Amino acid sequence: MALVEKMSHQKIIDETRYKIDSNNSVVIDRTKAMSRKQTRTTDTARKMVQDIEYFLNNIDEYISDNRKVKPDITNVINSIDEIQKKISYVVRLLVSLVSHSEIVIKKKFYDSTPNSKLQNTYWNLINLVIDKHVSEDHRDSVINQLQKTLKEL
């Protein structure tokens, strides 16, 4: 199984030397015209493919479920031994959360405020990651790297 960029999908299918099952090789991101329940996979697609499609198209639901997202984040962060790799991962995670939530990060990070209930959910998770998984010695550095990366996007 491989997740690939939408733009590369057809090229990989055309040029790979392996047989690819067309029921399980689909672009799974939902378009704006599709309803929440519509999918691109068929009933003949493997359950894992259907589950990945659901997960990717309903990421806000996963982020909102603290019983799932908090232990998953903790598990990944705790599995990284090197401090620099851990910091790099945390910065990438925070960039993803901020970007997806569309929270506007102000110059003074903690002055940033969410504008909706969903943004508030993301903001709480962002702060939890910083408070629980970034030591005070590295906090300013992580926030600076986050702000720098967001400006570059």
The residue type found at 146 is L
4/10 Cα distance (integer angstroms): 10
What's the chain's length in residues? 153
Mean pLDDT (whole number) for 40-49: 85
Contact (CB, 8 A) for 142 and 87: yes
Mean pLDDT value across the chain: 90
Q: Which residue has the higher pLDDT, 16 or 81?
A: 81
Summarize pLDDT for 82-100 with one digit per residue, the tens.
999 999 999 999 999 999 9
Q: Residue 22: its pLDDT value, please?
A: 74
- Tell me the two tokens of residue 20: 């690819």
Element (H, E) at 37: none
Phi-psi region of 149 (alpha: psi -120 to 50; beta: other; left: phi over 0): alpha
Greater confidence (18 vs 108) lies with 108
**pLDDT at 47 exceeding the cut of 80:** yes
Domains of the chain, residue spans: 6-57, 63-152
pLDDT digits (tens, 9 = 90+) for 121-151: 999 999 999 999 999 999 999 999 999 999 9
C-alpha distances in angstroms, 48 versus 1, 31, 53, 73?
9, 21, 9, 21
